[in-house]
Amino acid sequence: MPRTRSAAKQARSSIKKRAHNKSIKSRLHTLEGNFVAALAAKQAPEAVTALSSLASALDKAAKTQVIHRNLASRKKSRLAARLKTLTAAK
């Protein structure tokens, strides 16, 4: 239990922030799953749109510091490379 009023307020605030960040990360995992599923099904147009929405969500999460900006950049790069192998195979 927090001993001071400010510590109690910080505890309440961190619970809210954790819930918000968790929802954003869950959305990122869902979008990444959609992209990987489109890749597995070899559906290039769906994969391109999925990558676009995922990249946007990654950038927004990095901007609000839910994830690190380098993590967002690394994920975008690696997923784009995977998409490139699918389009190059066609």
Q: What's the whole-model pTM score?
A: 0.88
Compute, in degrees rounded to 10, the torsion defined by CA atoms 64, 67, 70, 72.
-90
Predicted confidence (pLDDT) at residue 67 exceeds the cutoff of 70:
yes
Residue 65's pLDDT is what? 96
Angle at 61 between CA 29 and CA 85, to 5 degrees: 55
| Average pLDDT of the chain, as a whole number | 96
Residue 35's pLDDT is what? 97
Q: Give me the CATH topology for the region 5-89.
A: Methane Monooxygenase Hydroxylase; Chain G, domain 1 (1.20.58)
> What are the residue boundaries of the structural domains of the chain, listed by start?
5-89
Predicted confidence (pLDDT) at residue 61 exceeds the cutoff of 90:
yes
Residue 86's pLDDT is what? 87
pLDDT range class, residue 90, cuts 50, 70, 90: low
Q: Percent of the chain, pLDDT > 70?
A: 99
